[in-house]
Amino acid sequence: MANVAFLGLGVMGYPMAAHLVKHGHNVTVYNRTHEKAKSWAMQHHGRIASSPKNAALGQDVVFICVGNDDDLRQVVTGEEGVIHGLSPNAIVVDHTTASADVARELACLLKANGNEFIDAPVSGGQAGAENGVLTVMAGGSSTAFAQVKPIIASYAKCAELMGEVGAGQLTKMVNQICIAGVVQGLAEGLHFAKSAGLDGIKVVEVISQGAAQSWQMDNRYQTMWQGKYDFGFAIDWMRKDLSIALAEARANGSQLPLTALVDQFYAELQLMGHQRSDTSSLLARLEKFRAS
């Protein structure tokens, strides 16, 4: 059992923090919107902190899951940030999908403060968080990771150390790059099936038994065929993630033509009003052009 704090109770953080309680840890939460923290505490019998600094006081591990680089910096280094409340040797684990640069920046600041930092973005979406079966890709010291891995297991089916600080974020970029291409391929396949007059459901039931099979196909083809796009990771968040990956690619010389193209397709969907639709709504863009 550990004393831990969890900062950020969004669609991912809310259930992740709950799993920590279920596994016997003493959990203190902080959320920018106090009412959400209050609701979580009433439901899961945890403690609420008034600030990131107060949440960090006396904790063995501080988990963070916020929106972006700026949010993360503010939570860690702001006037009431985590860094001002950390105990010596406490570990900060960041589950935000952010840049590798901000991970390294914060790791240096925390190291000077006597603390370890692990960048540990997750994959598996809201369903994975709710069911406690996320995949965690981490960057940091092997010693610090060994300490937190049993705690992370409260909500993860897989947690692996990928290298030094920043490696977790870089691995998450690979994850998002791969997803972008797979979802576009599935959208085009279903679009083609519909244009050709095929029964898309039957088509996928057959081809999913072969080399075309993917998680996206298994979990999204039916809702895509029905034109329903309220199941999972929103376009606004995917574009944030892809912008991080594309910026890193420019820095390291990678060529990501498909990723850049799909990012522009998502930009078009945002203009169509699909900001909060899930990433499988790439099919909606194709259907719009088919109808016009």
Strands 122-123 and 134-139 come out as antiparallel
Task: Provide, for the chain, the percentages of residues in helix, strand and coil under a 3-state DSSP scheme, each rounded to the nearest 5.
Answer: 55, 15, 30
Report which of 51, 102, 117, 114 is spatially closest to residue 79, judged by C-alpha positions.
51
Alpha helix positions (H), 81-160: 100-112, 125-131, 142-152
Looking at residue 29, what DSSP letter applies?
E
What is the 3 state secondary structure string of 207-257? HCCCCCCCHHHHHHHHHHHCCCCCCCCEHHHHHHHHHHHHHHHHHHCCCCH
Vertex 193 angle, CA 190 and 195, to 5°: 110
Looking at residue 56, what DSSP letter applies?
H
Distance of CA 210 to the CA centre of its chain: 29
Q: What are phi and psi of 163, to 5 degrees?
A: 150, -155
What is the rounded distance in angstroms from the CA atom of residue 267 to the CA atom of residue 87?
Answer: 43
Residue 24: CB atoms within 10 Å: 10
What is the rounded distance in angstroms from the CA atom of residue 112 to the CA atom of residue 89?
Answer: 11
Vertex 225 angle, CA 224 and 228, to 5°: 45
Catalytic residues: 172
First CA to last CA across the chain, in angstroms? 59
Q: Which amino acid is at 159?
A: A
